[in-house]
């Protein structure tokens, strides 16, 4: 793990967030794209073609891209009741118990969040009415690493918000099946259906609907670059929660931190994706050296060591800072998805944090627990978007409608001013509309 000696060098390197372009794509993704299209397309263009084909050819296009991009031949796109029932028997009881425990905590947290989400009111003829969206599509990535936690973290807030229909989609295994543990999670989350489709084709099917897949009001959940680009391209015709990039964890640590735990936490994020950003900020050169040694040592025992090593080597590392205040300043500039404060008295530093998706306090609150069982959704803003956005929650599935019911005694005053503004804007029809009210009084 590289150690960067000062903040300015850190800003030029790992804190600069290198853009994700075609050259940055892993070789296997570039090869898959070439096989599917017969040419080396830019990711944007590949996604554009997928969206066009699904919009025009529905289920057939989804099945085609499932096979060409994911290597999975699928006939029926919707998971059947028999498959859902069989999944329960295929998953070990202790896994089901753990998922149930997580689901209960996630549901309880978001029920508390719901109570403060939006406040309906009516006063002096004006008001606000809150309604849930009617139909949500959740993209849950992963097949070999199936990520049932993402199903829980995205679908449960939708259910708590009161969404009438919640559907899940994600990539399938080569035999055309959905990993049973993901189906169990979907059942625990109370979803209305699961679809066998991954990548941009899943986003397209949710955005426009097909013969089998219902059109949704909003597409939610994280995914790879192609899923992210697809969400950007369909936005405006359907809603999206956010544009998520590769995962990020920034750890702010002082001399009191346990180097082995810090290294383990960095690697926990690094193993997600070659493009992940596991970053340590510390004023302690001694801690930095110990963490670097621990990372090298712990890598040898990881199942996904090659992925983690690439992430650590290309987008991760340590930046030495002047003190913890300096570290928080850099963290606020970077606005990480996850910010872990592994320092003495971490609660004393929380008020200085302005930009982060989630803040994890102390060694007893590792980000990995947040990924599974803490309660808040682990779907959080990335790429610096924590400067203006929030983690996925019940608000993402609610919308407000303004209510206007002008009291009769106020019509004349409001209409008179409205007429003047309308004339100033050159909108005679608007002016005439309010003038008729004035003449009628």
CATH number of the domain encompassing residue 132: 3.40.50.1980
Q: What pLDDT is recorded for position 26?
A: 66
Alpha helices in 91-198 (DSSP H): 93-115, 148-161, 180-189
- Assess whether 359 and 400 both reside in one domain: no
Checking if the pLDDT of 379 tops 60, the result is: yes
Mean of the pLDDT values across residues 55-63? 96
- Assess whether 261 and 189 both reside in one domain: no
Q: Exposed, middle or buried: residue 248 (CB in 10 Å: 0-12, 13-18, 19+)?
A: buried
Catalytic residue among 187, 248, 271, 337: 337
Is 200 inside any structural domain? yes
- Assess whether 46 and 110 both reside in one domain: yes
**Tens-place pLDDT, residues 64-80:** 999 998 888 998 999 99
| C-alpha R_g of the chain | 25
Name every residue whose Cβ is closer than 8 Å to that of residue 349 and which is 6 or more positions away in sequence: 252, 324, 328, 341, 343
- Assess whether 184 and 264 both reside in one domain: no
Checking if the pLDDT of 207 tops 60, the result is: yes
Q: What pLDDT is recorded for position 120?
A: 87
When comparing pLDDT for 185 and 116, which is higher? 185
**Tens-place pLDDT, residues 138-163:** 999 987 778 999 999 999 999 999 99
- Assess whether 419 and 398 both reside in one domain: no
Q: What pLDDT is recorded for position 246?
A: 87
When comparing pLDDT for 116 and 337, which is higher? 337
Mean of the pLDDT values across residues 166-180? 94
> What is the pLDDT confidence band of residue 20, given thresholds at 50, 70 and 90?
low
Domain total of the chain: 3
Checking if the pLDDT of 23 tops 80, the result is: no
Q: What pLDDT is recorded for position 29?
A: 75
Whole-angstrom distance between the N-terminal and C-terminal Cα of the chain? 78
- Assess whether 59 and 186 both reside in one domain: yes
Our answer to whether residue 337 is catalytic in this structure is yes
- Assess whether 108 and 172 both reside in one domain: yes
Mean of the pLDDT values across residues 371-396? 96
- Assess whether 215 and 123 both reside in one domain: yes
- Assess whether 232 and 354 both reside in one domain: no
d(CA 271, CA 278): 10
φ/ψ of 322, rounded to 5, equals: -70, -45
Is 379 inside any structural domain? no
Mean of the pLDDT values across residues 245-252? 94
Catalytic residue among 338, 363, 367, 378: 338
- Assess whether 152 and 112 both reside in one domain: yes
Is 386 inside any structural domain? no
Is 384 inside any structural domain? no
Residue-number span of the structural domain to which 254 is assigned: 3-18+246-374
Checking if the pLDDT of 25 tops 70, the result is: no
3-state SS assignment for residue 83 = helix
Q: What pLDDT is recorded for position 197?
A: 96
Is 380 inside any structural domain? no
> What is the pLDDT confidence band of residue 21, given thresholds at 50, 70 and 90?
low
- Assess whether 32 and 175 both reside in one domain: yes
Is 349 inside any structural domain? yes
To the nearest whole percent, how much of the chain has pLDDT over 90?
Answer: 83
- Assess whether 187 and 112 both reside in one domain: yes
Is 385 inside any structural domain? no
């Amino acid at each position: 793990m590289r150690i960067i000696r000062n903040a300015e060098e850190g800003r030029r390197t790992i804190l600069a967030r290198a853009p994700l372009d075609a050259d940055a794509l892993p070789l296997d993704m570039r090869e898959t794209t070439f096989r599917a299209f017969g040419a080396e397309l830019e990711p944007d263009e590949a996604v554009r073609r997928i969206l066009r084909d699904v919009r025009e050819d529905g289920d057939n296009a989804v099945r085609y891209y499932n096979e060409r991009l994911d290597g999975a031949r699928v006939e029926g796109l919707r998971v059947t009741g028999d498959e859902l029932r069989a999944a329960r028997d295929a998953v070990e009881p202790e896994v089901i118990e753990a998922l149930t425990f997580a689901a209960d905590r996630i549901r309880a947290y978001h029920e508390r969040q719901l109570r403060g989400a939006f406040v309906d009111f009516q006063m002096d003829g004006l008001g606000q009415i809150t309604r849930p969206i009617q139909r949500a599509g959740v993209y849950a990535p992963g097949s070999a690493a199936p990520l049932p936690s993402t199903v829980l973290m995205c679908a449960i807030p939708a259910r708590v918000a009161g969404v009438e229909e919640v559907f899940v989609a994600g990539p399938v295994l080569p035999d055309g099946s959905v990993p049973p543990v993901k189906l169990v999670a979907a059942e625990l989350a109370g979803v209305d259906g699961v679809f066998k489709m991954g990548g941009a084709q899943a986003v397209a099917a949710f955005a426009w609907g097909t013969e089998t897949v219902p059109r949704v009001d909003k597409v939610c959940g994280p995914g790879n670059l192609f899923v992210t680009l697809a969400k950007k391209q369909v936005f405006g015709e359907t809603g999206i929660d956010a544009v998520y990039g590769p995962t990020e964890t920034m750890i702010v640590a002082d001399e009191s931190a346990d180097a082995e735990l810090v290294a383990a936490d960095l690697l926990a994020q690094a193993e997600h994706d070659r493009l992940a950003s596991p970053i340590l900020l510390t004023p302690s050169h001694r801690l930095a050296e110990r963490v670097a040694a621990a990372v090298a040592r712990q890598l040898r025992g990881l199942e996904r060591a090659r992925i983690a090593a690439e992430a650590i080597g290309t987008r991760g590392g340590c930046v030495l800072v002047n003190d913890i205040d300096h570290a928080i300043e850099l963290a606020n500039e970077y606005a990480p998805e996850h910010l872990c404060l592994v320092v003495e008295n971490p609660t004393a530093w929380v008020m200085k944090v302005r930009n982060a998706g989630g803040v994890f306090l102390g060694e007893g609150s590792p980000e990995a627990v947040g990924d599974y069982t803490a309660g808040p959704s682990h779907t959080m803003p990335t790429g610096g978007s924590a400067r203006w956005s929030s983690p996925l929650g019940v608000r993402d599935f609610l919308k407000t409608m303004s209510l206007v019911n002008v009291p009769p005694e106020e019509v004349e005053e409001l209409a008179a001013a409205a007429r003047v503004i309308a004339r100033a804007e050159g909108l005679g029809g608007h002016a005439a509309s309010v003038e008729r009210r004035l003449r009628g009084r």
